[in-house]
């Protein structure tokens, strides 16, 4: 009890003391949580408060970025900003894979495959496996999610939806497509039309469905399903880099497996059928089961299933390919391109496109460096074209290309780049990248591995990101907790201005060495330690005495229930005020006003000017306007703030 700062009342009965200790952990984790701390401070002094644990800002050499799955939808104005991740099944690298599969009954099911070292706890789809499992220590597994959609004629349904009603015909269509609804439903308008967007919620099953207008049809889609593992990985095995394709009406998934015992890579394959994932019976394992074959990439093109992968030779890892015509696989053959990573294949019906990333030597005058660059080549008329590299700024690295066929038949390319200092997502048409390049994501986080998906709703871009996740407290709805652990121990440099600019701010996710304080004694300037909690206060006064009184009051009160090892530091933001340097109700001095209207050139005055001594410590900089007089009443350059005078000077 003393170890966690619990104060026992020895005047009470012994059994009551024991009961208090028994419930102490529950009380501590309830009243000592971040939302409760924030709500307590707001109630005590009425000031806005945010609390942050600095444990996630401590540098650990073995903590890389944890890239979660996020998704953004293309809109008429660009790309929307996702409010929450698609999945917290993180990975340290690697792109997801996806295919759409038309099922009987007019339902289109979309599959999303990815690898993750995180324990999913979901029941595997392989027959004979345990009901739930945790991946072995040090392993990763292939997981998948699905969603489905179907179309209905909008006639007879749109008016009911606009009036907040669900017709019996619409509800019956869900059952016809294998979706069971309860009677406890909600209907919310998500987007005023046209096109309209509604969301149907099922309180009983906690499922929701999106209804979108598309011309004279309604597109009804489900949310992504719960995660399922493709197979339980073996001990000491890493299942990574999935790739999927639809061929001859069958869904096939390829991925690479690293065996830590033999230190070899191999490629595995499974086909979906009957609710299980099984080894395909119509193809031998030879094309993908050879030693040290990794990073498979599958695509259906011209009536055949193509499989690309990398395997080592005397010159390093080299690209290989084999083709399956439905009966047998061709003998694997090496291809010429130097593919180092991030292979992506796409068929537009006429040509087969390959994209990848490789290291190249780039120059800028006398400067030279080795940078990641994106290259591609196409296959048409039984021959491969020449490999081409995409131009990029000298200081940027560009990786992880992905593409889709646009509505006009153009090849839309998506990739990740460091053009703005950190990894972000970019987009453009392959035939005119210079004129169509568009930045999709912005900010200090790493946005990697884009995967574009198309359906009746438009384009959905799935990607991996180290972005912080905000949680709303179920008890205090006005309190939001920011989880920054996914950024890992990222490096900061001169090019990462967005990241460096967050230093010491509430949203700072940078990693720093342990701060022991001046001369080894922590004080309020010592933030970065595992036992430190920062209390960010927005003061409503600039009275230093009142601020200090409230600070001491908060600290005394929080000490009553916070664990004894927790050390509080206070970061107090004082209010800012605006001061007009010149009166707003009349212009400058008459002699200056006359000169401003008569002179057309521009000069800079010196301290010898007669105006220099009008304000102590200031030098007059005189500007001449050709036509309009100088307006200082609405010009922010002639205003200053009490709390930032030096910067404005």
Helix (H) or strand (E) holding 380: strand 367-380
Buried b (16+ CB within 10 A) or exposed e, 58-80: beeeeeebbbbbbbbebeeeebe
Q: Helix or strand or coil: residue 17?
A: helix
Q: What is the mean pLDDT for each group of 10 consecutive residues in the chain (649 residues)?
A: 72 87 76 82 88 90 91 86 90 93 82 82 37 52 90 85 87 84 87 82 87 85 88 82 92 91 89 79 58 90 92 83 88 83 93 94 93 94 90 94 91 94 93 91 93 82 94 76 87 77 88 87 89 91 90 88 85 74 54 48 45 49 45 48 44
Residue 570 — left, alpha, or beta (φ > 0 → left; ψ -120 to 50 → alpha)? beta
Buried b (16+ CB within 10 A) or exposed e, 356-382: bbbebebeeeeeeeebbbbbbbbbeee
| Residues 415 and 404: beta-carbon distance below 8 Å | no
Q: For residue 26, what pLDDT is reported?
A: 74
Task: Give long-range contacts, CB 8 A cutoff, 24+ apart: 121-128.
Answer: 122/226, 122/227, 122/228, 122/229, 123/228, 124/228, 124/229, 124/230, 124/231, 124/232, 125/228, 125/229, 125/230, 125/275, 125/276, 125/277, 126/230, 126/231, 126/232, 126/276, 126/277, 127/276
Q: For residue 630, what pLDDT is reported?
A: 47
How are beta strands 383-384 and 352-364 bridged, if at all? unpaired
| Cis amide leading into 410 (omega within 30) | no
Residue of 205, 150, 212 lying closest to 183 (CA atoms): 205
Number of CB atoms found within 10 A of residue 257's CB: 20
| Residues 422 and 467: beta-carbon distance below 8 Å | no
Q: For residue 283, what pLDDT is reported?
A: 56
Q: Helix or strand or coil: residue 409?
A: coil
Residue of 34, 22, 45, 75 lying closest to 547 (CA atoms): 45
Q: For residue 489, what pLDDT is reported?
A: 86
The angle that helices 34-45 and 544-558 make with each other, rounded to 10 degrees, is 140
Cα atoms in the Cβ-side hemisphere of radius 13 Å centred on 15: 0
Separation of CA 103 from chain center: 31
Q: For residue 457, what pLDDT is reported?
A: 65
Residue of 627, 506, 619, 636 lying closest to 571 (CA atoms): 506
Q: For residue 609, what pLDDT is reported?
A: 46
What is the reported pTM? 0.79
Helix (H) or strand (E) holding 358: strand 352-364
φ, ψ of residue 298 in degrees (nearest 5): -110, 145
Q: Helix or strand or coil: residue 91?
A: strand
d(CA 576, CA 573): 9
| Residues 147 and 190: beta-carbon distance below 8 Å | no
| Residues 324 and 304: beta-carbon distance below 8 Å | yes
């Amino acid at each position: 009890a003393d170890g966690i700062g619990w104060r026992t009342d020895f005047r009470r009965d012994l059994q009551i003391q024991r009961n208090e200790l028994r419930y102490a952990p529950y009380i501590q984790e309830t009243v000592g949580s971040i939302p409760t701390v924030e709500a307590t401070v707001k109630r005590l002094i009425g000031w806005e408060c945010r609390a942050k644990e600095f444990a996630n800002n401590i540098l650990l050499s073995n903590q890389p970025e944890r890239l979660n799955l996020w998704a953004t939808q293309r809109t008429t104005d660009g790309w929307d900003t996702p409010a929450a991740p698609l999945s917290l099944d993180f990975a340290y690298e690697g792109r997801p894979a996806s295919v759409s599969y038309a099922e009987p009954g007019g339902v289109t099911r979309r599959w999303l495959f990815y690898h993750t070292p995180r324990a999913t706890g979901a029941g595997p789809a392989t027959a004979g496996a345990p009901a739930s499992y945790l991946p072995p220590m040090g392993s990763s597994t292939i997981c998948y999610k699905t969603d489905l959609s179907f179309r209905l004629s909008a006639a007879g349904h749109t008016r009911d939806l606009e009036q907040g009603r669900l017709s019996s015909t619409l509800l019956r269509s869900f059952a016809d497509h294998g979706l069971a609804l309860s009677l406890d439903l909600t209907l919310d308008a998500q987007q005023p039309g046209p096109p309209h967007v509604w969301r149907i919620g099922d309180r009983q099953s906690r499922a929701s469905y999106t209804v979108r207008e598309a011309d004279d049809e309604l597109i009804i889609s489900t949310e992504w399903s719960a995660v399922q593992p493709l197979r339980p990985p073996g001990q000491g095995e890493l299942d990574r880099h999935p790739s999927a394709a639809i061929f001859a009406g069958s869904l096939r998934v390829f991925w690479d497996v690293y065996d830590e015992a033999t230190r070899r890579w191999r490629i595995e394959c499974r086909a979906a059928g009957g609710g299980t994932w099984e080894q395909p019976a119509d193809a031998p394992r030879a094309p993908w089961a050879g030693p040290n074959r990794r990073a498979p990439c599958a695509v259906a093109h011209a009536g055949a299933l193509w499989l690309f992968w990398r395997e080592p030779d005397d010159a390093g890892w080299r690209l290989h390919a084999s083709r399956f015509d439905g009966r047998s696989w061709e003998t694997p053959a090496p291809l010429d391109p130097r593919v180092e990573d991030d292979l992506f294949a796409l068929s537009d019906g006429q040509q087969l496109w390959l994209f990848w990333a490789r290291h190249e030597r780039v120059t800028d005058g006398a400067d030279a460096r080795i940078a990641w660059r994106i290259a591609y080549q196409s296959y048409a008329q039984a021959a491969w074209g020449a490999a081409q590299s995409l131009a990029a700024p000298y200081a940027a690295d560009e990786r992880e290309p992905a593409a889709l066929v646009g509505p006009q038949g153009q090849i839309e390319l998506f990739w990740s780049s460091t053009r703005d200092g950190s990894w972000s997502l970019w987009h453009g048409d392959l035939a005119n990248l210079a004129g169509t390049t568009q930045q999709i994501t912005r900010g200090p986080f790493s946005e990697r591995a884009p995967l574009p998906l198309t359906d009746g709703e438009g384009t959905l871009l799935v990607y991996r990101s180290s972005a912080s996740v905000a949680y709303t407290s179920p008890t205090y709805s006005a309190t939001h907790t920011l989880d920054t652990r996914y950024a890992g121990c990222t490096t900061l440099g001169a090019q990462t201005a967005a990241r460096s600019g967050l230093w010491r701010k509430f949203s700072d996710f940078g990693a720093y060495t342990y701060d022991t304080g001046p001369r080894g004694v922590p004080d309020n300037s010592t933030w970065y330690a595992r036992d430190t909690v920062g209390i960010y206060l927005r003061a409503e006064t600039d009275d230093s005495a009142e601020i200090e009184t409230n600070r001491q009051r908060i600290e005394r009160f929080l000490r009553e229930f916070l664990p004894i090892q927790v050390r509080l530091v206070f970061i107090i933001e004082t209010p800012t005020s605006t001061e007009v340097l010149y009166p707003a109700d009349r212009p400058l001095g008459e002699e200056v006003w006359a000169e401003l209207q008569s002179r057309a050139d521009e000069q800079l005055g010196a301290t010898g000017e007669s105006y220099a001594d009008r304000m102590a410590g200031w030098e007059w900089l005189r500007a001449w306007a050709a036509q309009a007089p100088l307006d200082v009443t609405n010009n922010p350059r002639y205003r200053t703030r009490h709390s930032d005078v030096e910067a404005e000077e």
